[in-house]
Amino acid sequence: MPASSEMTSLRRPAANDPFARIAAIGVVPVIAIENAEDAIPLADALLEGGLPVAEITFRTKAAARVLAKLSAERPHLLAGAGTVLDLASLEAARESGAQFAVAPGFDARIVEAAAKRGFSFAPGVMTPSDISAAAAHGVRVAKFFPAGAAGGPKALEAIAAPFAHLGFAFMPTGGVSFDNLDDWLKLNSVIAVGGTWIARPQDIREGRFAEIAKRARAAMEKAKALREARA
């Protein structure tokens, strides 16, 4: 399925758009970090691996503090907030310096609040009805979640087809791994994948930052090779 002109623009948009930067990177590590003191070693591991982005999920109490540290001490890392389920979390993410936010589902209140504040936000979608609701609120980038349980790449390819002319783009998350990331990135509608395999909570707790850097580098090399092969 060829990309529409709008989809092409999503793949090469203005450099100051967080989702444009994410599209250029292709992989977003989804991270639940329990201790804010691990924020900088984690950021340095990702940067060493050539992966300058992180989605810090609001599944832990440390999330806002982690984002604040990253914003202050590693501003060249594109740090965003994940699992933004309510307006309080959206405000906490913004106040902590997050440059974007994502959610596992669609909540019109959060989409509208983010748009009003000019804050880049990608809600979660899984069905055509979800996408229709998101599109009606001006959304053009959404998280496809849970990507594996929802049917994998073939399901997204079929679901996305009717919305291609809108330039609607997806970031599949949930069930994405190093082994299958190329199956996702080959889809025209996918600008990036999100995954937890790069920086797992246990690896962070145990200080295995060299291993995190290694996984980040491998993911970036695989994504880059795939895109160069398609060019």
The residues carrying an active-site annotation are 55, 143
Q: Are 200 and 34 in contact (CB under 8 A)?
A: no
Query: Would you give the DSSP letter of residue 53?
Result: E
Query: How far, in Å, CA of 8 to CA of 119, rounded?
Result: 22
User: Which tokens is 124 given?
Assistant: 């979660």
SS3 5: helix
Q: Which residue has the tokens 């009003």?
A: 116
**How many residues does this entry show for the chain?**
231
Distance separating alpha carbons of residues 104 and 172, to the nearest angstrom: 10
Identify whether the C-beta of residue 142 lies closer than 8 Å to the C-beta of residue 120: no
